[in-house]
A and B are shown apart, each in its own frame.
Chain A
Amino acid sequence: MAKIKRSFTVEISEARCRSCAVCWEICEPKVLGWKPPLNKAIIKDIEACTGCRLCEWLCPDWAIVVKPAALEPGGTRAEELSEAAS
């Protein structure tokens, strides 16, 4: 069976982010980065995201939300979530 690559969406709230650098340093695949001059977190390479959720769990200002991207059109959120959890 072909391996299906899971994809994820990462949303960062610019209003909440306080440039603490935790998320982009903790993210191993280097999905996240920062943008001068305020050095707020940005997404650099969403394709590399493994959905590990470390950035979401550790952002001290709760600025990041990670969600599984829809598997195919019409797939429900509940299905996605149970798949991601398994």
Chain B
Amino acid sequence: MSVQSEMPAIKPVKKKLDLQRPLDELVELYAEIPARQFRYCPGCGLGMAQSAIMRAFHRAGVDITKVATAGGSGCYSVMGHYFKSNHIHGSHGRGCAYAMGMKLARPELTVVTLQGDGDLLAIGGNHFIHAARRNIDITVICFNNYNFGDTGGQFAPTTPLGSKTDTSTLGMPEPAFDACKLAIGAGASFVARSTVAHPAHLTKMIADAIEWKGFAFVEVMQHCHVLWGRRNGMPEAMDMMRFYKDNSVLNTSSVPEDERFDIPIYSEDEKNVKFVLGVLNKEQKPEYTEEYAKLRAKAMAKVTGKAKS
């Protein structure tokens, strides 16, 4: 491998939120979808999230041939295959490890991981917090559906306290992770949350995360009405969409009017707030591949200096 003396490639110029591009044109540019349906259950939020991710690629102006995606096992794991990006469908929970490797080897690539909540926060928790700590320029997208969908709906670290799953039929006795707080605590420089019921906002959050230089984390609240919803009184996709719509607020009133997408602003006396959406953390920090390139240059200078003397 040659020594990377140059800085990583500059990210593309920011464009206006292009939400008006019809789906078939976007598919031609970014996706490779089967002629028939996707492999998710009918109505699953993963298909909606996938749509938002495609629009976010478009908005961020990325060259899809320069995008590398990574994921592990779960219902979401087929998603990477539906994009024209280069995808690694690896082992469970290792998305961040693959992503870090790819980014270090090829800093000019846009690296995105597509991971489930069980995948990222349970078995992959260590990879996640250490990637966040290093502030490496990757985008981690977590599909939080409150359970392990692919294996039949067992509880995950995100399952809300008291809710029913396959392995907590009398109610979940453990408190849940707040994935965004975990990411902030671990050092992620960009952290955002949105839901599939707010497609324009979700697209904006993912596009901002892709454009962000440094570790970006987006928690996508994605319904699994078939397993979690059915056991918790919301058996239809629309039941869960309404649940997200009715319980979501924006974190701050400093968001410009045209970026609020009609989501109410958080206020203290809000009773039924479950989902605080928006950019929850944003701070400039040194980026890992750049720091590593400096270190490598230093090491090379030492070696070549020694060779001369």
* Interface positions of A (Cβ within 8 A of B): 15-16, 18-22, 25-26, 53-54, 56-62, 64-67, 81, 84-85
Task: Give Cα A60–Cα B33 distance, bound, in whole angstroms.
Answer: 13
A18 with B37: in contact, given A53-B19, A56-B23 (CB under 8 Å)?
A: yes
Q: Are B199 and A62 in contact (CB under 8 A)?
A: no
Q: 13 A-B residue contacts at CB 8 Å?
A: A20-B43, A25-B238, A53-B20, A57-B48, A57-B51, A57-B200, A58-B51, A60-B40, A62-B38, A62-B47, A81-B20, A85-B18, A85-B20
Considering only CB atoms, which chain A residue lies closest to B225 in the complex? A20
Per a CB cutoff under 8 Å, which of A19, A26, A54, A60 touches B44? A60
Residues of B within 8 A of A18 (CB): 37, 42-43
Indicate which residue in B27, B43, B200 contacts A60 across the interface (CB closer than 8 Å): B43
B45 touches A60 (CB 8 A): yes
Interface residues, chain B, with chain A CB atoms under 8 Å away = 16, 18-24, 27, 33, 35-38, 40, 42-48, 51-52, 55, 196, 199-200, 236-238, 241
| B19 and A16 within 8 A (CB) | no
Q: Which 8 A-B pairs have the closest CB atoms?
A: A60-B47, A20-B43, A18-B42, A57-B199, A85-B20, A20-B42, A25-B238, A65-B23
For the complex, what is the distance from the CA of A60 to the CA of B41, rounded to whole Å?
A: 9
State whether A22 touches B237 (Cβ < 8 A). yes
- Which residues on B sit within 8 Å (CB–CB) of A26? 238, 241
> CA–CA, A26 to B238, complex, Å?
8
Nearest CB of chain B from residue A70's CB, rounded to whole Å: 14
Residues of B within 8 Å of A54, CB to CB, are 199
Select which of B27, B42, B196 is within 8 A of A19 by beta carbon: B42
- Most B Cβ at <10 Å: residue of A54, A60, A85: A60
Name the distance in Å between A86's Cβ and chain B's nearest Cβ.
9
Question: What is the distance, in angstroms, from A62's C-beta to the closest C-beta of chain B?
Answer: 6
- Across the two chains, which residue of chain B brings its CB closest to A11? B24
Q: Complex: how many Å from CA A24 to CA B47? A: 17
Residues of chain A with a CB closer than 8 A to B33's CB: 62
**Does B19 lie within 8 Å of A58, measured CB to CB?**
no
* Measured CA separation A19–B237 after assembly (Å): 11
Residues on the A chain within 8 Å of B196, using CB: 58
**Do residues B48 and A60 form an inter-chain contact, with CB atoms below 8 A?**
yes
Q: In whole angstroms, what is the CA distance A21 to B178 when docked?
A: 31
Query: What residues on A are CB-neighbors of B18 within 8 Å?
Result: 85
Which chain A residues border B236 with CB–CB below 8 Å? 21
Query: B37's closest neighbor in chain A, by CB?
Result: A61
Q: Which residue of A lies closest to B20 (CB)?
A: A85
Cross-chain contact B38 with A60 (CB below 8 angstroms): yes
**In the bound complex, do residue A60 and residue B46 qualify as a contact, i.e. CB atoms below 8 Å apart?**
yes
Q: Are A58 and B48 in contact (CB under 8 A)?
A: yes
Inter-chain contacts of A16 with B (CB < 8 A): 36-37
